[in-house]
Amino acid sequence: MALNVRAPDPATPLKVGVLISGRGSNLQALIDACRDDAMPAQIVAVISNNAEAAGLGRARQAGIPTHIVNQQDFADRASFDTVLDRALRDAGANFVCLAGFMRLLTRDFVTAWRDRMINIHPSLLPAFPGLDTHARVLAAGAKFAGCSVHFVRFETDTGPIIVQAAVPVRADDTPDALAARVLEAEHRAYPLALRLVAEGRVRVVDERAIVDARPPAPEFILNPPEA
């Protein structure tokens, strides 16, 4: 079955709620991208499970309403997710971007936002899901690292992949150096993925994201230079 993720009405911008837990550099990339009049998406709320998240300041700076849903206030995941869901809907969100949101979501929440929630992960999925990605990439001796933007499914870091960016792994890389290189790619990949969805160019078919109007890509890339 083919599901068009977004009703093709580019005149009505997507109303995006962004969930964060920390620094918010990907949030910033999304904020900057949404400043473009040609971007059919608008960030209507930034919600954090951490009152200290630096990203909240970025949202306030941009005049975007912020909300804190503190996990310590809830007895279990289900009640936390119910309040999160309500905060998103009260803000008028019809789409969710996870941007460094460090909390597992319940199956009910993920189902409620199926094909209307995307995440960015700092690896070329399905390789290296989970935490400590960059150290594991280096330990494995991979020649490329990268990032993936994907629709969210219940299993962590799974779901149809919309956009990926690859970066070389250098011989003298540390996890931090590699993370910084990947992060730069993330800041390009996440706005691109949001734009493609908002423009109605993404369909999910048999659990794969089919994207119209992909930019031309080379047939293959042989090993990157090592230094």
The number of residues that bind ligand GRF (CB under 6 A) is 15
- Tell me which of 121, 134, 150, 187 is the catalytic residue: 121
Residues 20-59 close enough to bind ligand GRF by CB under 6 A: 22-27, 55
∠ CA 193-154-41 to the nearest 5 degrees?
25
121 a catalytic residue = yes
Single-letter amino acid code for the residue at 23: R
Residues 135-194 close enough to bind ligand GRF by CB under 6 A: 147, 183, 186
| Interface map 188-227 toward ligand GRF (x if CB under 6 A) | ----------------------------------------
Nearest residue to 5 via CA among 118, 101, 105, 99: 118
Instruction: Point out the residue whose Cβ comes nearest to ligand GRF.
Output: 100
Single-letter amino acid code for the residue at 21: S
Give the pair of three-digit tokens for residue 221. Answer: 């890339």
At residue 123, the 3 state secondary structure works out as: coil
Report residue 168: phi and psi, to 5°: -70, 150
- With CB under 6 A as the contact rule, the residue among 88, 99, 194, 196 that binds ligand GRF is 99
What's the CA gap between 187 and 210, in Å, rounded? 22
Known catalytic residues? 121
The contact set with ligand GRF (CB under 6 A) reads 22-27, 55, 99-100, 120-122, 147, 183, 186
